[in-house]
Amino acid sequence: MCGIVGYVGSDNAKEIIIDGLKRLEYRGYDSAGVAVVQDGKILLKKHVGGIANLENLIGDDPMASGTGIGHTRWATHGAPSDVNAHPHLSADEQIAVVHNGIIENYVELRKMLTEQHGIRFRSETDSEVIAQLIGIHYEGNLEDAVYKAVAQMRGAYAISVIAADQPEKIVAVRKDAPLIAGLGKGCNFIASDIPALLKYVKEIYLIENNETVVLTPDSVKIYDDERNEVSRDVFHVTWDADAAEKEGYEHFMLKEIYEQPKGLHETISRRLNEDGTIKLDGISMTREDIEGFNKIYIVACGTAYHAGLVGKYIIEKLAKVPVEVDVASEFRYRDPYVDDKTLFIAISQSGETLDTLAALREAKRKGARVLSVVNVVGSSVARESDDVFYTWAGPEIAVASTKAYTTQLMCMYLIGLYMGYEKGTITREYYDQFIADLMDVSGKLEASLKNAGIIEGLSRMLYNKEQVFFIGRGLDSSVSYEGSLKLKEISYINSFAIAAGELKHGTIALIEPGTLVVTLATQDFLYEKMLSNIQEVKARGAHVLSIAKEGNTEIETHSNEVLYIPACRDEITPLLSVVPLQLFAYYVARERGCNIDKPKNLAKSVTVE
């Protein structure tokens, strides 16, 4: 969440910063601001609302400067407002700071600054504390002041700082929040995510935890928490700015839905040897290692958690190891039983999700082996894992995850197959046929997407429903949770998912005439039971939209509408059944006039608790 962009060089910093902030809008925000060093002073402009509001405020003012920092804020401490927007200034207005994260001891620091130094705070934010702390320590050396301030702070943060009397310097610090430095020619950049810089640089430094980076037009130097200079390999970004553009689609979300066949093909085809066996690049797991695991935890948040639910089913079925799926924010606080015979699988699109990262560290501290499934190369989760499996989804810009989810599913299938085959719990014949079926998914998904017009038509009929239930059994239940989440997060409809067998244990009391119930019935061995559940809600007046495999036409007699997915083995239906749900959520949200790529109150990368 939030976005940081900084520039030091000879070009107009303001223009570069605003352009970079626009490329980070997908992260979610409610205000924006920019500060530059100009003629020995800091010139500050910030405004609540979108970046367009900030641009209107700036108007024709060039804010001429080669050094500046900018920020898009997602409110935590203090409501969205002009005064709470970043950057924040020190009391003497000589220091400007932008901050992602949360300062946990800000109340204590604010009291100290007020009582001992007479500081009068302008905002309600925890972030202003940082500017004021640096301000009281500043005596002409910006690095010194930043180090002293950071030593007093507790929490998670990425900060970027400029001083009025140091016009060619930016100092930034990272602790549990993403930060990168871009390497230009005669200029350098700081940012919270790669898309902000893609237009300008392809070579970056990945800043590690508890590191400080000092940028001037001619150098980028990295220091550890004891002020020792650190050597860092350059990371070369392999995707270009076009990958982060809409390319003619109305929204990023729609583009990313249509990119799923390619993402799935890339994720599996890159992982197969010539003999058809799986090569898990980034994973060095032997048969002895696999046989030594007596338990697997899959830990994630949101959509990644839903991918984990499918992963549990697949790994248990193929590798015959008990798997527990947990929400990262719960796992880290419940003292779970983990030891050196535990495999901990972390799933995260961004690789920067704070709760997932903290859970990973807790598991590692207790001796678990950590395998991460992430989309962002070089992210924190990836760097702190023993083994890494990249999803090859490409950049995902829309807040509502689509292609990251399906490629995470593909990774779960490949991990399960690899473990099962190495362990000997599945035969080579079964393995080969499963791989062949997975290879066919991309083509089947391409064909399914041609039916998007049918789903668009259904959305025009059903977009005004204010309460929707999703039900399914087995793997369909796991997909139901994801379908419900997609609908609620971008259309703001009160959506709820439940295992179909649980309906009669309370939830069916909420079914009224006209209630929309989306039913998934893609599991052949559970098909008849699902028909019974559909009849239960239909008898109470529900409007039923069903998803089933081609050929299972009996469901039409029990449903108002049916969407069909291509016939396939039960185990891989989630790769196909989730796509109609994604499209339905998209078209319903469009009919309701919602901001699809940037839903209210949501952020792409959640780097606070």
Task: List the catalytic residues.
Answer: 2, 604
Can you say whether the dihedral through the CA atoms of 593, 583, 412, 261 is positive or negative?
Answer: negative
Structure tokens of 152? 């007093």
Tokens of 33: 């601001």
Which two tokens mark 172?
Answer: 């930034």
The answer to whether 505 and 477 have CB atoms below 8 angstroms apart is: no
At 387, list the tokens. Answer: 């083994």
Q: Are the C-beta atoms of residues 536 and 508 closer than 8 Å to each other? A: yes
Within 8 A by CB and 6+ apart from 166, the residues are 37, 142
User: How far is the C-alpha of 546 from the C-alpha of 443, rounded, in Å?
Assistant: 23
Q: Which sign, positive or negative, has the C-alpha torsion 496, 499, 502, 504?
A: positive
Closest of 153, 144, 162, 145 to residue 126, by C-alpha: 153
Place of tokens 């000092």: 214
What CA–CA distance (Å, rounded) separates 338 from 297?
9
Instruction: Identify which of 249, 251, 80 has the alpha carbon closest to the alpha carbon of residue 593.
Output: 251
Three-state SS string across 371-425, please? Answer: EEEECCCCCHHHHCCCEEEECCCCCCCCCCCCHHHHHHHHHHHHHHHHHHHHHCC
Rg (CA), the chain: 25
Query: Which residue shows structure tokens 């030091």?
Result: 8
Closest CA to 109 of 89, 136, 87: 136
Distances in Å between the alpha carbon of 68 and those of 23, 161, 533? 17, 9, 60
Measured CA to CA, the distance from residue 383 to residue 379 in angstroms comes to: 6
Sign of CA dihedral 111, 113, 115, 120: negative
In 261-403, beta strands by DSSP E: 295-300, 323-327, 342-348, 369-374, 387-390
